[in-house]
Amino acid sequence: MSEWREFSRLPGSPEYWLDLRQRIGGEAGPVLAGRKARERWLDRALAGGVLAAAASVALLLAQPSPGTPDVTIQAGLIPADPLARELLQSGAAPPVGVLLASYSAEPVP
């Protein structure tokens, strides 16, 4: 050890350092308590958020399936129109005569 150390300005007593630590710890106490409380609040908020999200997902999964909509609705046609139904459900294209007949059968305003 250097002999220069004999000229230290720092106290050598362990009690001095303990007192100073306690003094600083006392001042820090309220700040630390505030941080702890905020941390707890954040933890709770996070847990609440996770629970809410899980509940939302469960609710969505529990919704009944809407089922397959009517083909005429899917095509944007009138569901009650028999021609539209036949047209959409037929495997082959309808003959032009059918379409014309249907057209001419419509009431003239």
* Least spacing, CB of residue 33 vs other proteins, in Å: 7
Q: By C-beta, is 12 or 66 nearer to other proteins?
A: 12
Q: By C-beta, is 1 or 93 nearer to other proteins?
A: 1
* Least spacing, CB of residue 47 vs other proteins, in Å: 16
Smallest Cα–Cα separation from 83: which of 63, 75, 109? 75
Q: By C-beta, is 35 or 44 nearer to other proteins?
A: 35
Per-residue burial over 62-89, b = 16 or more CB atoms within 10 Å of its CB, e = otherwise: eeeeeeeeeebeeeebeeeeebbbebee
* Least spacing, CB of residue 45 vs other proteins, in Å: 15
Q: Which two tokens stand for residue 44?
A: 């709770």
Cα–Cα distance, 94 to 73 (Å, whole number): 19
Q: Which two tokens stand for residue 15?
A: 């009690």
* Least spacing, CB of residue 62 vs other proteins, in Å: 38
CB 72, CB 81: distance < 8 Å: yes
Binding site for other proteins (CB under 8 A): 1-12, 14, 17-18, 20-21, 23-25, 27-29, 31-39
Q: By C-beta, is 37 or 46 nearer to other proteins?
A: 37
